[in-house]
């Protein structure tokens, strides 16, 4: 007989029940709002509020106790860094349960369990995430800019290196051009002399 035993087991053994409560608590901490049955929402409410109280303490012992129950590094980090600071001015009453009709199929009464300061905490988390992203984005943007600068610096050097051989070739062609013209003039002079000699030889034969 379970007289005076108020702990709900949800037809689960001890290990399964503990994991279910821990997972639902982590989901509420991460997302700020979870849809589940009314019985489960009322049951996890006290666990969520205990974790937020530990987050408000903020010391190493509280962090270890939260980690022992939640068993999720990301959820514990979100709890201590983003969620708990939003409840410093509130002494208890960190969650609310809003009933939401019945579930299709078995007509189980459904409800939302959410953080009372969920909007503010989500905005804070978003602001923190946005503040972290630009720094990494700037670093990533700076690296391609440096690469383009280096590439631009290398290109003129390559262009200069290419122009130097071309300039040398042009100078060599200019130097070779006068030599060729001199040779051509000499060849033309020799041809004229031979033409002039031929008529003289023809006149001697006629005499």
| CATH class, range 14-116 | alpha beta
pLDDT tens digits along 67-78: 999 999 999 999
Query: Is the pLDDT higher at 154 or at 100?
Result: 100
The whole-chain average pLDDT of the chain stands at: 79
Q: Is 96 exposed, middle or buried (0-12, 13-18, 19+ CB in 10 A)?
A: middle
**pLDDT for 160:** 54
Give the N- to C-terminal CA distance of the chain in Å, as an integer: 162
pLDDT tens digits along 81-97: 999 998 988 899 999 99
pLDDT of 43 higher than 90: yes
Question: Domain ranges in the chain?
Answer: 14-116
pLDDT of 118 higher than 80: no
4-8, 107-111, 195-199, range with greatest mean pLDDT: 107-111
With bands split at pLDDT 50, 70 and 90, how would you rate the model's confidence at 7? Answer: confident
Rounded Cα gap, residues 207 and 202, in angstroms:
9
**pLDDT for 207:** 44
Residues in the chain: 207
**pLDDT for 1:** 84
Average pLDDT for 44-49: 96
Element (H, E) at 100: strand 95-102
**pLDDT for 161:** 55
Exposure string of 130-164, with b = 16+ CB inside 10 Å and e = fewer, is: eeeeeeeeeeeeeeeeeeeeeeeeeeeeeeeeeee
Distances 182 to 45, 83, 173, 187, 189 between C-alpha atoms, Å: 107, 94, 14, 9, 11
135: its two tokens = 């720094």
pLDDT of 26 higher than 90: yes
Is the distance from CB of 42 to CB of 97 less than 8 angstroms? yes
The least confident of 37-46, 100-109, 155-164 is 155-164
135: left (phi over 0), alpha (psi -120 to 50) or beta: alpha
**pLDDT for 117:** 81
**pLDDT for 186:** 62
36 three-class SS: strand
With bands split at pLDDT 50, 70 and 90, how would you rate the model's confidence at 6? Answer: confident
Is the distance from CB of 48 to CB of 79 less than 8 angstroms? no
Average pLDDT for 50-59: 95
């Amino acid at each position: 007989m379970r007289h005076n035993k108020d702990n709900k087991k949800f037809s689960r053994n001890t290990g399964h029940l503990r994991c279910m409560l821990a997972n639902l608590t982590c989901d509420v901490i991460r997302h700020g709002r979870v849809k589940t049955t009314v019985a489960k929402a009322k049951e996890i409410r006290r666990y969520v509020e205990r974790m937020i109280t530990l987050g408000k303490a903020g010391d190493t012992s509280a962090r270890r106790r939260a980690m022992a129950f939640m068993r999720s590094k990301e959820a514990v980090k979100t709890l201590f860094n983003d969620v708990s600071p939003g409840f410093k001015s509130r002494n208890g009453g960190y969650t609310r349960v809003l009933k939401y009709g019945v579930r299709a199929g078995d007509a189980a009464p459904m409800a939302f369990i959410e953080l009372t300061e969920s909007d503010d905490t989500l905005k804070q988390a978003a602001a923190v995430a946005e503040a972290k992203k630009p720094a990494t984005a700037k670093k990533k943007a700076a690296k391609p800019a440096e690469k383009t600068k280096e590439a631009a610096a290398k290109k003129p050097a390559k262009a200069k290196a290419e122009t130097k051989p071309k300039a040398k070739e042009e100078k060599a062609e200019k130097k070779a051009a006068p030599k060729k013209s001199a040779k051509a003039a000499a060849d033309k002079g020799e041809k004229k002399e031979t033409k002039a000699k031929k008529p003289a030889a023809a006149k001697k034969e006629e005499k």
